[in-house]
Amino acid sequence: MCGIAGVMMKNGRRPDAAVLDRLQAALAHRGPDATGRHVSGAIGLVHTRLAIIDTRTGDQPLEEPGGAVLIANGEIYNDPELRGELCDACFRTGSDCESPLHLYRRKGLDFAGKLRGMYAIAIHDRAASKLVLTRDPFGIKPLYYVEAPAYFAFASEPQALLAAGLANRTIRAQARAELLQLKFTTGRGTIFSQINRVLPGETMVIADGQIAQQRRRNPLTASGPRPIGHREALERLDAVLRDSVAHHLRSDVPYGLFLSGGIDSGALAVLMARLSGNAVVALTVGFPGSAAADERVAAERIARAVGAEHHVVEMAERDFWAKAPRVAMALDDPTTDPAALPTFALGEAAGGRLKVVLTGEGGDEMFCGYSRYRRARWLWGWLTRHARTHGEFDAVGKINGALGGWRDGLELAERQASSHWTFVQRLQAADCAEWLPNDLLIKVDRCLMAHGVEGRTPFLDPVVADFAFALPDRMKATTRMAKRLLRDWLARALPAAQPYAKKTGFNPPVGEWIAARKDRVQALVAAQPGVAEAFSRQEVARVFSEAGKVHQPAWSLLFYALWHSHHVLGLSGDGSVEDVLSTACSWRG
């Protein structure tokens, strides 16, 4: 896993070396093992490397005989198979990212269709004087860009573009409304007015500093469910999961698992134990001294059953107040999902011990783990045709106009649904288009890469997706049970996982922690410039008065105050919550 960035100047001008230096420095945490640079004519590319495959000779940029140069952030799991198909190519390294370069020479812009993995790739085709960017279909790996009058720039993280002076820190009010009501922002635009996302599955061609061509592929089939019997479905599920996990375990460095005690990570634990020659290293987070649901007991039961080496990471109230500013620093493309807090703590614990961890992200979207999927099965979908019709702040009463337009992006995504899809499939597709890449996967990417750890997601694999999305609705969700087929499979593979137990979620007790200091923190949040420009003190007070009962709005405002202080005001995120907010409240610009 790595960091990539680059600039293409207009009118043939040479990129500024100081700008490339700033891009590289801003992405150093994503790649502590090596750096590389390519400058040719109007294009400059930088790379920071976290070495996973071919740790000895796989430094980037990579170049093929035709003169095309590649930098990549990702893992190509089918690289061995691709090398077999590209037997006439002259490979110079053992890097899994070299096969896309040779595929590009043979297949042009169609090269990404052959890749199985997670990736954000940039290729400078010197002969054609163009830059090609592409991102994996689920958006597991991030990629952002800026179009400016004098240049086109891209990077793995928005903060790198800001640090290099390639974009300003002005925010979009509608994106702020989305963040607070949905917990994430949607679509191409980010919360920063000048910074956009390369969309999941998109390939983009840039010539003379401007976008010349765009194409996109969807990871989900356009067809409706395919008929299949339960026994055959279980056999196929075992085969596709085994195949995916086997590919995701390809690594030249130590790997482990984030074990929550739930269905998804339990399934991964079983398969990793089957396929790995060593005991699985599993990490679980717990919240001591809290009334929150604690998954340590369930995780320990699974770990014992598969013979895993199990480690528990504790996150207490004091850790929350100490780590929250660092989480906000890491999440430059923000999400107010409180699960980012334990994910960050797990990443910190894994750093130095592991370079790769498998996580269960995508299991709920592929196999229908949310209650909305079950509701969509009631009365042929009439009760749940749309997800997230109520925003997070609706629970605390009327707020002023700062939250207007928060659902527009979701409605746009919903309109992209295939006419062949069922109501359940439409909900899955909307989640895969927005919630998954712009909340869950950003959370994993930033919270792990902050510690030099790569997160892998075996459920978000084309083989798994082709099988799961096309399953009959009844095998994914019944009116009473979510993830039916996956639960049935786990009941056979590992009864100790208790797969029919009720889903508990992965949420820290942020409301409990905030309520304990609400008077002091409420005043600091209300006075923070970014919050003060959108909400009155009375509105902030109302939100915090409900923190013990309705936690998300209070956490959202607290997170936004921390996030805005660092990413917009440019203040340090070092110190406790109160330290950071006290500094922000005295900020004068």
CB neighbourhood size of 101 (10 A):
26
Strand partners, 196: 145, 189
Q: Where are the domains of the chain?
A: 2-216, 230-377+436-497, 510-585
Query: To which CATH superfamily is domain 2-216 assigned?
Result: Aminohydrolase, N-terminal nucleophile (Ntn) domain (3.60.20.10)
Fold of the CATH domain 230-377+436-497: Rossmann fold (3.40.50)
Give the DSSP per-residue string, 243-261: HHHHHHT--SS-EEEE--S
Residues 134 and 215: beta-carbon distance below 8 Å: no
Chain center to CA of 545: 32
Along the 589 residues of the chain, how does pLDDT read in single tens digits?
699 999 999 988 999 999 999 999 999 999 999 999 999 999 999 999 988 877 787 899 999 988 999 999 999 999 999 999 998 888 999 999 999 999 999 999 999 999 999 999 999 999 999 999 999 999 999 999 999 999 999 999 999 999 999 999 999 999 999 999 999 999 999 999 999 999 999 999 999 999 999 999 999 999 999 999 999 999 999 999 999 999 999 998 889 999 998 999 999 999 999 999 889 999 999 999 877 767 899 999 999 999 999 999 999 999 999 999 999 999 999 999 999 999 999 999 999 889 999 999 999 999 999 989 998 887 666 656 667 778 999 988 777 778 988 999 988 888 888 889 999 999 999 999 999 999 999 999 999 999 999 999 999 999 999 999 999 999 999 988 999 999 999 999 999 999 998 766 668 999 999 999 999 999 999 999 999 999 999 999 999 999 999 999 999 999 999 999 999 999 999 999 999 999 999 887 6
Can you tell me the distance from the alpha carbon of 377 to that of 384, in angstroms, rounded to the nearest whole number? 8
Alpha-carbon distances of 589 from 253, 528, 573, rounded to whole Å? 45, 13, 17
Residues 555 and 336: beta-carbon distance below 8 Å: yes
Chain center to CA of 143: 11
| pLDDT reported for residue 388 | 78
Alpha-carbon distances of 152 from 7, 159, 210, 567, rounded to whole Å? 6, 16, 6, 22
Beta carbons within 8 Å of 84's beta carbon, 6+ residues apart = none
Q: How far apart are the first and last CA of the chain?
A: 36
Can you tell me the distance from the alpha carbon of 567 to that of 571, in angstroms, rounded to the nearest whole number? 8
Strand partners, 310: 282
* 3-state secondary structure (DSSP) of residue 34: strand
Alpha-carbon distances of 543 from 335, 401, 511, 531, rounded to whole Å? 19, 16, 11, 12
Residues 568 and 169: beta-carbon distance below 8 Å: yes
| pLDDT reported for residue 580 | 96
| pLDDT reported for residue 269 | 98
Q: Which two tokens stand for residue 257?
A: 């698992």
Q: Which two tokens stand for residue 7?
A: 């600039």
Can you tell me the distance from the alpha carbon of 47 to that of 36, in angstroms, rounded to the nearest whole number? 5
Query: What values do phi and psi take at 36, rounded to 5?
Result: -150, 160
| pLDDT reported for residue 1 | 64
| pLDDT reported for residue 387 | 72
| pLDDT reported for residue 72 | 97
Can you tell me the distance from the alpha carbon of 478 to that of 216, in angstroms, rounded to the nearest whole number? 33
Q: Which two tokens stand for residue 382?
A: 């009439």
Can you tell me the distance from the alpha carbon of 161 to that of 150, in angstroms, rounded to the nearest whole number? 15
Can you tell me the distance from the alpha carbon of 59 to that of 93, in angstroms, rounded to the nearest whole number? 9
| pLDDT reported for residue 4 | 98
* 3-state secondary structure (DSSP) of residue 395: helix
Q: Which two tokens stand for residue 260?
A: 């929550």
Q: Which residue has the tokens 């990793």?
A: 272
Element (H, E) at 153: strand 151-155
Q: Where are the beta strands (DSSP E) in 375-426?
A: none
Q: Which two tokens stand for residue 254?
A: 């130590």
